[in-house]
Amino acid sequence: MEEAWQALHKARRAREEAEKKSREFEVERERLSWQINELSELQLQPDEWTALNQAHSRFANAAELAQSAQLAVDALSEMDGNCLSVLAQVQSRLSKLSHLDPRLTDSLSLLDSVDAELREVVYGLRDYASSIDEDPAQLADMERRIDTLMSAARKYRVQPQDLPEKLADWQRQLAELEASTDIEALAVAESSCLARYRTMAEALSGKRRQAAAELSERISGEMQNLAMGGARFAIELAPLGDPTAYGLESVEYLVAANAGTSLRSLAKVASGGELSRISLAMQVVISQVASVPTLIFDEVDVGIGGRVAEVIGKLLRQLGERYQVLCITHLPQVASCAATHWQVSKAERQGKVLSQIRPLDAEERIMEIARMLGGVDITDTTRQHAAEMLALNT
């Protein structure tokens, strides 16, 4: 229930925030769109800046590159005393001498490899020299492209090679902005969350109505046993204007303390003793399904005695089987039902009045129950009565 309300609350807040900031977002959206269009017109390519600079360097130095390649070819294979002709002379001389010393064979093999590799170098340099294109028009196109990219980079304060990344970043920002300010889509999302919330809330309301009727009847029945004859208990479910984390209605406890009186808010009409007894009646009813660590009842026995006091004591003992129950009482019928008896007293020490609490052993407990039964002067009969009450109730 709470998770559905949180989702609805988040969706509603997103929609309201988008409506509030729509004008501010529109200005930002226009700025991003303009910048994206400007860079998109450049038709940027990944790694274009690096490739463009390398190509420009080749075209700008084409004559020097071609001349150097041709000079290398001449030195290796064409001019007088070129490397290949000298190498051929060495190979011929050593080949004629190798029959005199077979150890020259290894050197001849290496020279054969050198000859083959030098010839590959010559072929490669010839192809390279012939492939160099000295095209002034193409060089001019490259320089214009470099100037265009440099101008855009200066304008947006990035390096030229970072322009594609900048464009992608702006496109991401625009997509996020449009998603966050799509009021229609946010309204649809809010409606979906509201429908889910209402489905769960209405199911909860149905269960509440059913439980309220049953609890009201059972708690009213328990109140009759606690010296509250004619009293009634009811649970009112009041519709709320807006969805909440706990459903579509508020829950209020109502009570009519006497027969013939109208139901009113429990917090306004019940006395302290009545509140304790009503709380006791409620705990007895819900003890089968609810679980709390400790229950405290203060003067639950105010204005009662005799049989009703005994009923209250037994009800408290019944609750004590499931929870830790603390009860402040002046009635022996209630105190005798407890598993443990603590005595609260006041003492004066050094001019100060102090309150103290201590547990009673078996004999002290008999004496305290007897005091609650008969006052200050405790007779053997009173003491015996107290012992019998404890024996019957514990």
pLDDT single digits (tens) 92-110: 888 888 788 888 888 888 9
CB neighbour class for 349 (10 Å; exposed up to 12, middle 13-18, buried from 19)? exposed
- pTM for the complete prediction? 0.48
| Predicted confidence (pLDDT) at residue 159 exceeds the cutoff of 90 | yes
More confident residue, 131 or 43: 43
Helices 62-73, 104-131: crossing angle, 10 deg rounding: 150
Residue 390: HSE in the Cβ half-sphere, 13 Å Cα cutoff? 21
Alpha-helical segments (H) within the chain: 2-20, 22-40, 48-60, 62-73, 83-97, 104-131, 136-156, 163-180, 183-224, 266-269, 272-286, 306-320, 332-335, 362-374, 380-393
Residue 311 lies in a domain: no
At 270 the three-state DSSP class reads coil
Instruction: Give a yes or no: residue 59 inside a domain.
Output: yes
- Residue 209 to residue 215: CA distance in whole angstroms: 10
**pLDDT, position 23:** 67
Q: Confidence band (pLDDT; 50, 70, 90) for 214?
A: very high
Query: Could you tell me if residue 328 is inside a domain?
Result: no
Which of 80-89, 257-266, 356-365 has the largest mean confidence? 356-365
- Segments forming the whole domain that contains residue 27: 22-180
The pLDDT of residue 340 is above 90? yes
Query: Residue 364 above 90 pLDDT?
Result: yes
Q: Which of 288, 291, 297 is nearest to 316 (CA)?
A: 297
Residues 6+ apart with CB under 8 A from 365: 341, 390
- 61 lies in some domain: yes
Q: Which of 58, 56, 54, 81 is nearest to 129 (CA)?
A: 58
Measured CA to CA in angstroms, residue 285 lies from 1, 211, 216, 255, 281 at distances of 25, 12, 10, 16, 6
Residue 267 is assigned to a structural domain of this protein = no
Name 189's Cβ contacts closer than 8 Å, sequence gap at least 6. 11, 14, 15
Report the share of the chain in percent with pLDDT over 70.
95
Quick check: is 187 in a domain? no
Question: Smallest Cα–Cα separation from 196: which of 20, 11, 37?
Answer: 11
Band of residue 37 on the pLDDT scale cut at 50, 70, 90 = very high
pLDDT for 22 = 67
- Per-residue pLDDT tens for 243-266? 888 889 999 999 987 888 889 888
User: In this structure, is residue 166 part of a structural domain?
Assistant: yes
- Amino acid of residue 75: A
At 16, the pLDDT band (50, 70, 90 cuts) reads confident
| Tally of domains in the chain | 1
339: confidence class by pLDDT, cuts 50, 70, 90: very high
From CA 277, how far away is CA 308, in angstroms rounded? 11
User: Is 272 a residue whose pLDDT tops 80?
Assistant: no
The answer to whether position 16 is within a domain reads: no
Residue 271 has pLDDT above 70, yes or no: no
Confidence of residue 158 (pLDDT cuts 50, 70, 90): very high
